[in-house]
């Protein structure tokens, strides 16, 4: 009887060993090892799925210093996507923006730079003055821009975040968490063109002037770790040394965040350790590649009746190295009950990933454009077409 019981128990253990690895990888791999002993808080996240591979005190509210600028850059990239801002638009520096202390590109009151140049200053030199200048360009004032930052944080589910300014200079009640930083960093990576700025090691501003300004990226890992192309460093005496970094190898991208490190050497070493762990233990299995067709969206009574959909970025799932990807498939489910008007960013469907018949992961899909309601003349022509012609 005992022999039969032991045999059954061993069988159950083997079954669990076969079934659990995938689910564990998709949900959370917290483990017991401390990869970041010097950090007060840390997280390692897969960008495609949002899976947390490693964390340490990830929800503790802490001052983020200049990592705040990840949200500032996100709102800039979204404004560029919406068309309310153009990359070559001129940005005029106010006296208030020029008065910012700390890291800066020494903007003068009244000086103009393009959005492209301001982004270089923010991403590479961590320019506080350029951050405020861009905040004023987008929202009219930094105060209005900060409201937008907090609203976007709420939309993204950043529950342990409150911003007071656009650049991360010390301020009462200005805080976030490693988890929330990873969330906004992941969102920023949907605009992968930002890495043109965050991934550059050096450049110049005012190159053709009498006083060219040499930019050197504050994130030294872009030079010393293969695949690193962002994102943002931070330091104040209260926050200590902080970093939100991203690296990509083949089609696998991760974000690593450390807060409260004692010095830059430890900060960079521990982020390196997080990257090494991710790339040695995990891989990404692409489901949909950027630019792939996702079908056509039908909009009842819309000015445009059919909207072709393409993937703006890659969708993939996280697998442990050596794990079999056989049997993984996906389907696109688009809503069939949509009526105009539809707003850009409105949820319109989802991608469901299966292994055999078991759902593994869902990715929401959003409308890429505003779809206005058709006028009566368009509706009449469409109705007449249906009466006399076969679709």
**Active site residues per annotation:** 66, 69, 126
Longest Cα separation, the chain: 90
Chain center to CA of 305: 31
CA triple 381-384-390, angle to 5 deg: 115
d(CA 298, CA 304): 9
Backbone dihedral angles phi then psi of residue 93, each to the nearest 5 degrees: -85, 125
Q: Are 254 and 53 in contact (CB under 8 A)?
A: yes
Cα angle value 122/48/265 (rounded, 5°): 50
Closest to 54 (Cα-Cα) out of 273, 202, 288: 273
CB distance 153 to 29 below 8 Å? no
Strands 228-236 and 282-288: unpaired
In a 3-state reduction of DSSP, which class is residue 8?
helix
Angle 193-207-101 (CA atoms, 0-180°, nearest 5)?
A: 75
Length of the chain in residues, anyone?
Answer: 391
- Output the six-digit token pair for 110: 């009244």
Q: Is 367 within 8 Å of 297 (Cβ atoms)? A: yes
Q: Which regions of 39-195 does DSSP assign to beta strands (E)?
A: 41-46, 52-56, 90-92, 112-114
353 CB-near residues (< 8 Å, 6+ apart): 287, 317, 328, 329, 330, 359, 360, 361, 362, 363
Matching residue, tokens 């656009």: 166
DSSP 233: E
Q: How far apart are CA 219 and CA 200, in angstroms?
A: 10
């Amino acid at each position: 009887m005992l022999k039969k019981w032991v045999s059954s128990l061993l069988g159950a253990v083997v079954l669990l060993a076969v079934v659990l690895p995938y689910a564990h990888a998709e949900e959370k791999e917290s483990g017991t090892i401390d990869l970041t002993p010097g950090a007060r808080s840390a997280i390692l996240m897969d960008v495609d799925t949002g899976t947390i591979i490693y964390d340490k005190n990830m929800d503790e509210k802490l001052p983020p210093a200049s990592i705040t600028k990840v949200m500032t850059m996100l709102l800039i990239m979204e404004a560029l996507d919406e068309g309310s801002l153009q990359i070559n638009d001129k940005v005029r520096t106010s006296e208030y923006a020029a008065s910012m202390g700390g890291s800066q590109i020494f903007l003068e009151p009244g000086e103009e730079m393009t959005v492209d140049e301001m982004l270089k200053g923010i991403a590479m030199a961590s320019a506080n003055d350029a951050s405020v200048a861009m905040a004023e360009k987008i929202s009219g004032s930094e105060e209005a821009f900060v409201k937008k930052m907090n609203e976007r944080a709420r939309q993204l589910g950043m529950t342990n975040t409150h911003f007071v300014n656009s650049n991360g200079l010390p301020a009462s009640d200005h805080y976030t968490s490693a988890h929330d930083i990873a969330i906004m960093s992941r969102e920023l990576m949907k605009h992968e063109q930002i890495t043109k700025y965050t991934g550059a090691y050096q450049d110049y501003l005012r190159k053709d002037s009498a006083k060219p300004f040499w930019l050197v990226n504050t994130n030294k890992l872009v030079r010393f770790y293969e695949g690193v192309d962002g994102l943002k460093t931070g330091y104040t005496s209260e926050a200590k040394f902080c970093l939100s970094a991203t690296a990509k190898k083949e089609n696998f991208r991760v974000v690593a965040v450390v807060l409260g490190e004692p010095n830059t050497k430890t900060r960079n070493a521990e982020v390196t350790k997080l990257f090494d762990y991710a790339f040695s233990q995990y891989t990404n299995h692409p489901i949909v590649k950027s630019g792939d067709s996702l079908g056509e969206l039908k909009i009842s009574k819309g000015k445009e009746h059919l909207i072709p959909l393409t993937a703006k970025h890659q969708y993939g799932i996280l697998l442990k190295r050596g794990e079999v990807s056989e049997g993984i498939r996906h389907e696109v489910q688009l809503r069939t009950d949509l009526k105009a008007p539809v707003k850009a960013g409105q949820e319109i469907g989802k991608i469901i990933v299966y292994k055999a018949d078991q759902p593994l992961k869902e990715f929401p899909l959003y409308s890429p454009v505003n779809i206005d309601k058709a006028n009566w003349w368009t509706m009449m022509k469409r109705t007449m077409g249906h009466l006399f012609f076969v679709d």
